[in-house]
């Protein structure tokens, strides 16, 4: 991360002050670099493609992030004021392509409450970043199919010849937020992407592995199906991975049933449905 360090020059202050109600001075601002995401496969078996990173570069400017570790519940926030794509010389991903990451600069206004947090960031303790966004397509890295629309038989994390199947996140629609989570740094300079989920990696006894794999496969299929149904339902909310990933298995099954039922039911002409809704509204007393 050291290479991303920067000074509070006039140019930088100008960028920061685009996001403040009143101009702030250098003395009142604390700014720091972070890596939001990259094209390395993460522990969920997913990765962004480079075009997705480029799109997220624009989407994340101005987005607020949260430090969600504070036991007192007084969450501190910071805001991204600048983003850039970096291609560190000679670095490759685990699957053999040039490594590309989306880095950002964020600021917070110094207060009595965030002194300790600033010390921690300076000391390099807060490193893991999780991001939340929606993508319109997830592509299988083995066969290239859109796993929302045409789920294939390839399973994330499994090897097919030379290749390990991953889901490639393509065409981000929106970026919601980012957060620092209090998890010790590990891969990729301690930075990983999630979609707001906070899974903690657990070690599994070997005898449970088989069962876990089967569950995982079923869950993957269920999520793909719900995603596909979402799209079929024509809801303008493009399959929102953030939502699907947050649901429990029971909730996913329920949603799957609801969506299936809605899709198989003959739909009334839109105008008639609207008129009906209007009538209902009139007869209800909302006071
Ligand atoms: Zn596939």
pLDDT at 103: 94
The domains of the chain are located at 2-141+162-201, 202-287
pLDDT on residue 268: 55
164 vs 239, more confident: 164
Instruction: Tell which residue, 107, 90, 108, has the closest CA to residue 99.
Output: 90
Between residues 248 and 110, the one the model is more confident about: 110
Question: For 101-143, how does the pLDDT look when each residue is reduced to its tens digit (9 = 90+)?
Answer: 999 999 999 998 888 888 888 887 666 788 888 899 999 999 9
The string of pLDDT tens digits covering residues 29-86 is 999 999 999 999 988 899 999 999 999 999 999 999 888 655 555 677 899 999 999 9
Distance in Å, CA 120 to ligand 1 centroid: 43
Going by the DSSP 8-state scheme, the letter that residue 233 receives in this structure is T
3-12, 16-25, 46-55, 209-218: the lowest-pLDDT one: 209-218
Predicted confidence at residue 29, as pLDDT, reads 96
- 165 Cα to the center of ligand 1, angstroms: 7
Please spell the DSSP secondary structure of 117-186, one letter per residue: HHHHHHTT---EEEEEEEEEEEEETTT--BTTTS--S--TT-EETTEEP-EEEEEEEEEEEEEEE-----
Question: What's the gap in Å between 153 CA and the centre of ligand 1?
Answer: 6
Position 255 scores a pLDDT of 82
What integer is the mean pLDDT of 9-24?
A: 94
C-alpha 218 to ligand 1 mean position (Å): 15
Chain mean pLDDT for the chain: 79
What is the per-residue pLDDT for 198?
34
Of 3, 167, 156, 11, nearest to 81 by C-alpha is: 11
Report residue 256's pLDDT band, with 50, 70 and 90 as the boundaries. Answer: confident
Is the pLDDT higher at 186 or at 8?
8
pLDDT score, position 286: 46
What is the band of 152 on the pLDDT scale with cuts at 50, 70, 90? Answer: very high
For strands 64-67 and 167-181, give the pairing. Answer: parallel
Give the tens place of pLDDT for each residue, 258-275: 877 777 665 555 566 667
pTM exceeds 0.75, yes or no:
no
Cα(84) to ligand 1 centroid in Å equals: 31
Cα(151) to centroid(ligand 1), Å: 7
pLDDT at residue number 194: 37
For ligand 1, the distance from its centroid to the CA atom of residue 285, given in whole angstroms, is 53
């Amino acid at each position: 991360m050291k290479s991303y360090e920067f000074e509070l020059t006039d140019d930088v202050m100008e960028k920061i002050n685009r996001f403040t109600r009143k101009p702030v001075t250098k003395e009142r601002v604390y700014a720091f670099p972070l890596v939001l995401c990259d094209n390395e496969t993460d522990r969920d078996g997913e990765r962004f493609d480079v075009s997705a990173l480029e799109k997220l570069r624009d989407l994340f400017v101005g987005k607020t992030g949260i430090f969600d570790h504070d036991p007192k519940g007084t969450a501190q926030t910071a805001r991204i004021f600048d983003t850039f794509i970096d291609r560190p010389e000679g670095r490759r991903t685990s699957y053999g392509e040039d490594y590309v990451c989306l880095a950002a600069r964020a600021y917070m206004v110094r207060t009595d409450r965030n002194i300790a947090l600033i010390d921690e960031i300076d000391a390099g303790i807060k490193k893991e970043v999780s991001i939340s966004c929606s993508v319109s397509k997830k592509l299988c890295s083995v066969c290239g199919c859109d796993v929302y629309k045409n789920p294939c038989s390839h399973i994330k994390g499994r090897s097919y010849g030379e290749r390990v199947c991953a889901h490639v996140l393509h065409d981000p629609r929106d970026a919601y937020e980012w957060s620092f989570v209090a998890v010790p740094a590990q891969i990729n300079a301690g930075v990983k992407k999630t979609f707001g989920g906070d899974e903690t990696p657990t070690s599994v006894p070997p005898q449970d592995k088989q069962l876990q794999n089967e569950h995982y496969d079923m869950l993957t299929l269920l999520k793909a199906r719900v995603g596909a149904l979402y799209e079929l339902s024509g809801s303008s909310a493009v399959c929102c991975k953030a939502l699907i990933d947050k649901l429990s298995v029971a909730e996913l099954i329920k949603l799957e049933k609801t969506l299936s039922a809605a899709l198989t039911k003959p739909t009334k002409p839109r105008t008639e449905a609207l008129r009906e809704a209007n009538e209902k509204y009139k007869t209800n007393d909302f006071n």
